[in-house]
Amino acid sequence: MKASFLKSLLLVIATLCTTPAWSIWYFLGIQNGVVTDIDTDTVRTVGNNRSLWILQNYPMTNVYGAKSMAIQLEIDCKADLIRYTKIIGYTGEIQTGYTKVMANVPGAWDKILYGSLHKSIQHEACLKKLPINKVYTTKWETSKKL
């Protein structure tokens, strides 16, 4: 009994270690056959900008040898600018297969054009209300006691 339990446990551990990172991807659009999904849970404020992850799935392997790419973007909401900050390529669809970090340095800023997929990404990132961490001060605590 112990041997079969250990085998099952090792199988579960091996499966979890080889499974790609799980995210909740929401369909955003298709452009030139490339399906783009967005993970709205990754939206963060970076200085005055917003950062988030998108996933692009290609109909066939692209010139970089990737079938899908997870891309971290930074968006300047006020100036309508966007750039990538990290790109991870995958040999399989939807973040499967071997991985390769293709870029880990911020790229050049691009203007976000009205009606583009980037505009949809900007809309999701910049209009999302982020949770506010409440800060309690001694003044608040004092006024509460009165």
What are the backbone dihedrals phi and psi of residue 26, each rounded to the nearest 5 degrees, phi first? -110, 135
CA–CA distance, 111 with 120 (Å, rounded to integer): 13
Q: What is the DSSP letter of 94?
A: S
- Cβ count within 10 A of residue 112: 21
Residue ranges of the chain with per-residue pLDDT less than 50: 9-12, 14-20, 138-146
CA–CA distance, 128 with 63 (Å, rounded to integer): 34
User: In the chain, what are the domains?
Assistant: 20-126 (2.40.128.710)
Q: What is the pLDDT of residue 19?
A: 36
Q: What is the pTM of this model?
A: 0.71
Which helix (DSSP H) or strand (DSSP E) does residue 10 occupy?
A: helix 2-18
Q: How many CA atoms lie within 13 A of 125 on its CB side?
A: 31
CA–CA distance, 120 with 28 (Å, rounded to integer): 8
Residue-wise pLDDT tens digits, 40-69: 888 998 888 999 999 999 999 988 889 999
Q: What is the pLDDT of residue 67?
A: 93
